[in-house]
Structure formats: C-alpha cells, structure tokens
Amino acid sequence: MRGKLIFVAGAAAGYVLGSRAGHQRYEQIASGASKFWNSRGVQKQVVKVEDAAGQILPRVVTGLFHLVVWGVKKILGIQSKPKTTSTAARR
C-alpha cells in the first residue's frame, strides 16, 4: 500500500511540474506560430491562394456534379439520349 501511495504522489508531482513546463513551451510555440502566420509574406501568399481557389472552385464543383450525375446514371442503367440534329438544320 505504501508503494502505491508513493507512486501516486510521484505521478502527481510529475504531472504538476510537467504541465507547468509544458504550458510555457506551448505558449512559446503558439506565439511563434502566430507571428509567422501574421507576417506580411505569409499573408500575401494566403491572398494569392484564396484568389486562385475562388477562380478554380466553381469549375471543380461543376465537374464533380457532372461526374456524380454520370455515376448515378451508370449505376441505375440510365442511358443519355444522344443529341440529334434535324436534316433541315444541317442544310
């Protein structure tokens, strides 16, 4: 019983001391990450990526929509009717 009590006391002391040091290190890392993220160079790149995504995203969504429709039709066995043109329109 005495061994268990000493073990629990040691574990508690280690937790308290470790969490204090861990919290300080966490604050240090978080501060550095925040400075990096908010730097001018990083924010310029963020704006470029957002602009590019804004231009590409609508095309990606449209393409995915058509792909899903095609897949559902294939699974259900629905065939698309080929587009026909009248002979009068060709003349």
The pLDDT value given to residue 68? 95
pLDDT over threshold 60, residue 47: yes
Write the pLDDT tens digit of every residue in 1-43.
Answer: 777 878 888 887 787 777 777 778 778 888 999 999 999 999 9
Residue 10: CA count within 13 A, CB half-sphere: 6
Q: How far apart are CA 80 and CA 84, in angstroms?
A: 12
* 3-state helix, strand and coil shares in percent for the chain, rounded to the nearest 5: 85, 0, 15
Write the pLDDT tens digit of every residue in 49-91.
Answer: 999 999 999 999 999 999 999 999 999 988 766 666 666 555 5
Instruction: Show me where the domains of the chain are located.
Output: 1-38, 40-78
pLDDT greater at residue 23 or residue 44? 44
Q: How far apart are CA 20 and CA 14, in angstroms?
A: 10
The whole-model pTM stands at 0.47
